[in-house]
Amino acid sequence: MPTVGIVMGSDSDMPVMKKAAETLESLGIDFEMRIISAHREPELFFSYARKAEERGIKILIAGAGMAAHLPGMCAALFPLPVIGIPMHTTSLGGRDSLYSIVQMPSGIPVATVAINGGTNAALLAARMLAISDAALRERLKEYSSKLEAQVKEKDDRLAQVGYRDYE
């Protein structure tokens, strides 16, 4: 039974949404992934978003580009957290998607990550689930420790070539 639903408006969103899927997978979180367009398949979209809660989905991650109404409409129909990912676009550089998703009118929230922020969307979902899952919380701490170690390693390389004067 998936805990997180990843939904995107088009297969052109897949490279970004794949990062969310890979991150959830690495943290051991069950998820499903769907391509459902709110404007091209309105009936299917309504049915998916309305049934998600009773199917056991706890969080929806929704990615969309241009007039990006998919995350907002998910939040209108699904009563639990929705995380929106604005897609980069060639015409307006993703500002169109970002403003469409982040500027939800009061009452229906969408937690919006950066343009193309697939990884952070998954990490935010994981942090929400970790409120009531101590084991997941430990895995998230390990994830952060690995990031810290990676930066240290890069800084150490600068020291090796004599560019670091301060420890």
Binding ligand RP5 by CB under 6 A: which of 5, 6, 7, 9?
9
Q: Which is nearer to ligand RP5, 71 or 81 (CB)?
A: 71
Q: Which two tokens stand for residue 163?
A: 């560019």
113 is an interface residue for ligand RP5 by CB under 6 A:
no
| H or E element in which residue 84 lies | strand 82-86
Encoded tokens for 156? 């150490």
Min CB(164)–ligand RP5 separation in Å: 43
DSSP H helical ranges for 27-164: 42-51, 70-77, 95-102, 118-129, 134-160
List binders of ligand RP5 among 62-91 (CB under 6 A): 64-66, 87
| The only residue of 10, 46, 136, 139 in contact with ligand RP5, by rule CB under 6 A | 10
**Backbone dihedral angles phi then psi of residue 32, each to the nearest 5 degrees:** -125, 160
Binding site for ligand RP5 (CB under 6 A): 8-10, 12-13, 37, 64-66, 87
